[in-house]
Amino acid sequence: MAKSPKSKSNIAAENRKARFNYEIIDTLEAGLVLTGTEVKSLRLGKAMIAESYATEEDGEIWLINSYVPEYLQANRFNHEPKRRRKLLVHKTQRNRLAGAVQRDGMTLVPLKIYFNDQGRAKLELAVAKGKNAPDKRESMKERDWNRQKQRVMKEAGRD
């Protein structure tokens, strides 16, 4: 299991719909290969990973379709906002991820990009299985029931 960030202020981008659209099987923390302007832009918190995914190509894991906006003060030294970004994972982790995708039909979904205690950008990556419509309805029912249960417990505690 990947260690999640301690405070919300460290989170640069979050994929909030991932847990609704996918059943999360396993998570891991991966490093990102970024340029200087990408790091500065991430610190502003305007990045989006909602439509992105990761894939294995030529023995490396790549983050595809993530959006990190240009850093306005960088002028001509700026980066391309939708470029492919290399993920840094151990060889055993890479083999396990690639095997899950090829063998079991899983998907590699980014959950969040955050800065760890050393100030390095990290990506929380999930091995996930897509949910179909009935599974999504069941998730919504369960979430509503938990909210209602909390409300009743809170009201019962006040009396």
Residue 142 inside a domain? The answer is no
Q: What is the pTM for the complete model shown?
A: 0.76
The answer to whether position 138 is within a domain reads no
If one counts the domains in the chain, the total is 1
**Which pLDDT value is given to residue 159?**
53
Each residue's pLDDT, cut to its tens digit, for the chain (159 residues) gives: 455 555 556 888 888 888 888 888 889 999 999 888 888 888 888 889 998 999 888 889 999 999 888 888 877 778 888 889 999 999 999 888 888 888 888 889 999 999 998 989 999 999 988 878 787 888 889 889 999 989 998 888 865
Does residue 3 fall inside a structural domain? no
Q: Which domain holds residue 83?
A: 8-131
For residue 52 the two structure tokens come to 């992105």
Residue 158 lies in a domain: no
Q: Report d(CA 42, CA 145) in Å as an integer.
A: 36
In degrees rounded to 5, what are phi and psi of residue 95? -65, -40
Domain assignment present for 72 = yes
Is 2 within the bounds of a domain?
Answer: no
- Bridge partners (DSSP) of residue 67 are 48
Give the pLDDT of residue 10.
87
Q: Is residue 119 part of a domain?
A: yes
For residue 33, is it within any domain? yes
List the CATH number of the domain containing 56.
2.40.280.10
**How many C-beta atoms lie closer than 10 Å to residue 60's C-beta?**
13
CA distance 66 to 64: 6
